[in-house]
């Protein structure tokens, strides 16, 4: 395992332990609202701080972009992009589907990725050029040739409900062509499941960099394609993402823009 990936795994497991303890004692948590339908808890903040501390023990000069703490200045050649608890709403409501997401950008390019599901003990990892793994075993995207009989994943714009109609139009066009669609509440796990071939594809608009950074590398290293809604190659900046194997992505982008 790459040295930096190994540190990221340790950081993710540390955060996972904090999250599990918090999940067992949710009644004691104080839940705040960052915005409409957007929760944050003490556990989100503690988990992010634990991740940063663990990484800084080995790489004290690196910079960070976290969902809760924003930017931590440092060496811009190495930036860690962190979502300490992707799926906070699930966590707050007792739904056991959430994950820790950690990615490393080296000179602006994705280099290492970890998505850790502490409930199931599933560790998804990827290093640029070395493939993607689940608990140490190689994973690949599905081999679907078109959308028929596929199982896809998506999300709805709960923070920007004025975009609902556009989202529903795309959903209807895609749903009529595929087998079924899931909306599970964690972008990081959605993309990890695409990388593992559990889902055939995933699309979402209004997403943040920390939600999809690790997932993007996982999908790419498992043989998949990741684009934005226009088919471009920078979903973290455009805040829209489509992923799956190349044939699935081509079909999804076409329907989204129809």
pLDDT tops 90 at residue 222: yes
Digit-coded pLDDT (tens) for 89-117 = 999 999 999 999 999 999 999 999 999 99
Q: What band does 38 get if pLDDT is binned at 50, 70 and 90?
A: low
Q: What is the predicted pLDDT for the residue at 39?
A: 67
Sequence-ordered list of residues with C-beta below 8 angstroms from that of 88, at least 6 positions apart, any chain? 39, 40, 41, 44, 98
pTM over 0.75, yes/no:
yes
Per-residue DSSP letter, 206: S
Q: Residue 74: how many CB atoms within 10 A of its CB?
A: 16
Q: What is the predicted pLDDT for the residue at 37?
A: 54
The rounded distance, in Å, linking the Cα atoms of 219 and 141 is 7
Q: What is the predicted pLDDT for the residue at 181?
A: 98
Q: Are 209 and 151 in contact (CB under 8 A)?
A: no
Digit-coded pLDDT (tens) for 152-191 = 999 987 666 777 888 899 999 999 999 999 999 999 999 9
Digit-coded pLDDT (tens) for 43-75 = 999 999 999 999 999 999 999 999 888 888 899
Digit-coded pLDDT (tens) for 10-36 = 999 999 999 999 999 987 776 776 655
Q: Are 67 and 210 in contact (CB under 8 A)?
A: yes
For the chain, what is the largest distance between any 2 Cα atoms, rounded to a whole number of angstroms? 51
SS3 76: strand
Burial class (CB in 10 A: 0-12, 13-18, 19+), 188: buried
Digit-coded pLDDT (tens) for 201-214 = 999 999 999 999 99
Q: Are 240 and 229 in contact (CB under 8 A)?
A: yes
The rounded distance, in Å, linking the Cα atoms of 96 and 216 is 23
In angstroms, what CA-CA distances link 15 with 3, 96, 154?
A: 19, 16, 26
Reduced DSSP (H G I as helix, E B as strand, rest coil) percent helix, strand, coil of the chain, to 5 = 40, 30, 30
Domains along the chain with CATH numbers: 3-138 (3.30.540.10), 151-256 (3.40.190.80)
């Amino acid at each position: 395992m790459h040295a930096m990936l190994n540190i990221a795994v340790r950081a993710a497991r540390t955060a996972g332990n904090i999250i599990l303890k918090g999940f067992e004692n949710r009644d004691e948590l104080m839940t705040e609202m960052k915005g409409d339908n957007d929760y944050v808890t003490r556990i989100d903040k503690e988990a992010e701080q634990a991740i940063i501390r663990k990484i800084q023990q080995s790489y004290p000069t690196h910079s960070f972009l976290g969902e809760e703490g924003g930017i931590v200045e440092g060496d811009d050649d190495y930036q860690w992009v962190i979502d300490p608890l992707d799926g906070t709403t699930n966590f707050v409501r007792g739904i056991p589907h959430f994950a820790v997401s950690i990615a490393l950008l080296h000179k602006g390019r994705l280099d290492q990725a970890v998505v850790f599901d502490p409930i199931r003990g599933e560790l998804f990892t990827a290093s640029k050029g070395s493939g993607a793994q689940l608990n140490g075993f190689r994973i690949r995207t599905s081999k679907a040739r078109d959308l028929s009989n596929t199982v896809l994943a998506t999300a709805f714009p709960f923070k920007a409900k004025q975009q609902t109609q556009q989202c529903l139009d795309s959903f209807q066009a895609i749903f009529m062509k595929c087998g079924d669609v899931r909306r599970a509440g964690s972008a990081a796990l959605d993309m990890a499941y695409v990388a593992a071939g559990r889902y055939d594809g995933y699309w979402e608009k209004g997403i943040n960099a920390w939600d999809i950074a690790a997932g993007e590398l996982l999908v790419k290293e498992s043989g998949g394609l990741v684009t934005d809604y226009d088919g471009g190659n920078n979903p973290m900046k455009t805040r829209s993402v489509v992923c799956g194997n190349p044939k699935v992505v081509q079909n999804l982008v076409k329907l989204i823009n129809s």
